[in-house]
Structure 1
């Protein structure tokens, strides 16, 4: 995979003869950066945003349940649930529909922005790497392209995810935030920028999940089209997109889920950890290996349909916007 070089700083030479203009390395770096930016297609941003927003509106209650299970360490005075259905029924009885959609605003912002930016960066990096190559990108190139896209996206969206987690973990008997902007402002006032970037390190590890998912998804699409003797970018049927999205997501989640538990606990306002090592140590000591997989069942129940909806909407909307329908 081609790397994305950054402009290098040139040391000015002595005396008035030194040239004030950029050196050859800096010029080359700027040229490469402009080339990368030339591959950006805002249709991918719009299509990814559409998929993220639609899937979030449909499935937010399951996301809320997943997070509440993930932080359930047994040591806090917080509601206890016997299972997914019991959790949903309890929240419904205590808080109604509003309770099930607590934190939905930052979730929509976060999911829309994350999927939109992810598809924008991923396709731009992938196109940049493909430029000048006669053969298609391999699995490693897809993996690295997706990882780079994930890191760029996380840098921009982590504050939204912290805010969403805090709102989701507000229980009916003790609420401290009135909404998304109030939560974000209070987090910044009391914890600074560091508070808005809680869970960033495990979030970086989480980019490996998306990278694995995209690598598997691309491989499944390529193999399917090769088997049918079609171009690699040929439009597939809705069911093919759904199956491929589901299979790729299952593989990625099974491999990387523990980071989500760690991240949620770092962002939980009801508990205090000194850092990543403290979360790992206390979770292992108090709950064993099982503690790192809490909430995985509701997570799978949520992410599989969410992933299928997102990818199906993305593939069709992007092709519609780019005029690639047959």
Structure 2
């Protein structure tokens, strides 16, 4: 069981490092995902144009809007995910060497569902902070005001009630398929390569990148719908309603807004996560072992 805690701690640490390294890409992809009007003078025309306009209008700090909530969110998300994933994995692997594809998918489903239910409020807050929709809800012509994490939380409670923290929960639960695909791909590739050689940090970097590329590429439309449903001004009544309205108003391209930035961000985030997580795991196990001896 101590190994499960070590996996949770190292996963949280790896998530924090990867989040800090790639956060500007998250800001860019989030703003492109929720943007509906692409023809206005202030509309973002693409990844580079988004960066240029953010720097011009908000400065370098604009690329890091909501970073505090994101760091807290990713630490909690990865901690919970890895704890449940490794606990389930331990049960499946007790009498054999590695999990089957079905077992990997089941472990990912259990861990992903538990994580979504606990952390969705954090990502609602982060999405609103990242996309800067707080003041635009009231006056779309005004410059968006910067609100901190606490003020954003209080604004959500006062204007929308506590239920707003679970906006987008259905597409978020559907998106559990993303880590299922990611970790199943990762585990299966890892098991095959381990038969040929001992894995190093760069191997984990590549495995994380490949597995996340496949997962995000295949689930991106749901990511767009989830991001929009987490915003206060979202008019989508359900996930299916979101799909229909996006296709009707923006065409099928609307389901893939910001995909290039998101793929780059997701791939690098996952790559850094897996690499640093494995490195931190070894140290975490040693620290927990020393602490246990002292006790």
TM-score by length of 2: 0.89
| Counterpart selection for 1:260 from 223, 226, 247 | 223
The superposition leaves residues 98-139 of structure 1 with CA deviations (integer Å, 9 ceiling, x where unpaired) of 1111111111111111112111111011112323x2353211
| Counterpart selection for 1:128 from 68, 79, 91 | 91
The superposition leaves residues 17-73 of structure 1 with CA deviations (integer Å, 9 ceiling, x where unpaired) of xxxxxxxxxxxxxxxxxxxxx577221121011111111111111101101111112
| Counterpart selection for 2:71 from 88, 93, 108 | 108
| Counterpart selection for 1:160 from 122, 142, 149 | 122
Which residue pairs with 1:190 in the alignment?
A: 159
The range that moved more, 280-289 or 263-272, is 263-272
Q: Which has the higher contact order (CA 8 A, sep 6+)?
A: 2
TM-score by length of 1: 0.81
Assess if the C-alpha contact under 8 Å between 2:109 and 2:176 holds in 1: yes
User: Aligned partners of 1:202 and 1:110: how far apart in 2?
Assistant: 18
- Cα displacement (A) at 1:76: 9.7
The superposition leaves residues 150-183 of structure 1 with CA deviations (integer Å, 9 ceiling, x where unpaired) of 1001111000000001111216944466211211
The superposition leaves residues 194-224 of structure 1 with CA deviations (integer Å, 9 ceiling, x where unpaired) of 2000011000111101011000000111000
| Counterpart selection for 1:205 from 170, 174, 187 | 174
Which residue pairs with 2:210 in the alignment?
A: 247
The range that moved more, 113-122 or 78-87, is 78-87
User: Aligned partners of 1:75 and 1:257: how far apart in 2?
Assistant: 19
Q: Does 1:309 align with 2:278?
A: no
User: Aligned partners of 1:183 and 1:128: how far apart in 2?
Assistant: 41
- Cα displacement (A) at 1:305: 1.1
Which residue pairs with 1:43 in the alignment?
A: 6
Alignment CA distance shift 1:286-1:207 (3 Å): same
User: Aligned partners of 1:40 and 1:160: how far apart in 2?
Assistant: 27
Assess if the C-alpha contact under 8 Å between 2:69 and 2:149 holds in 1: yes
Which structure's CA Rg is the greater one? 1
Q: Does 1:319 align with 2:282?
A: yes
Give 1:1-326 correspondences, 5 Å limit: 38=1, 41-74=4-37, 79-131=42-94, 133-170=95-132, 173-175=142-144, 178-228=147-197, 236-323=199-286
Large movers: runs of 4+ above 6 Å: 75-78
Query: Greater helix share, 1 or 2?
Result: 2
User: Aligned partners of 1:40 and 1:236: how far apart in 2?
Assistant: 19
Which residue pairs with 2:138 in the alignment?
A: none
Name the count of aligned residue pairs. 280
Assess if the C-alpha contact under 8 Å between 1:214 and 1:248 holds in 2: yes
Structure 2: unaligned runs, 5 residues or longer: 136-141, 288-295
Assess if the C-alpha contact under 8 Å between 2:224 and 2:255 holds in 1: yes
Assess if the C-alpha contact under 8 Å between 1:40 and 1:120 holds in 2: no
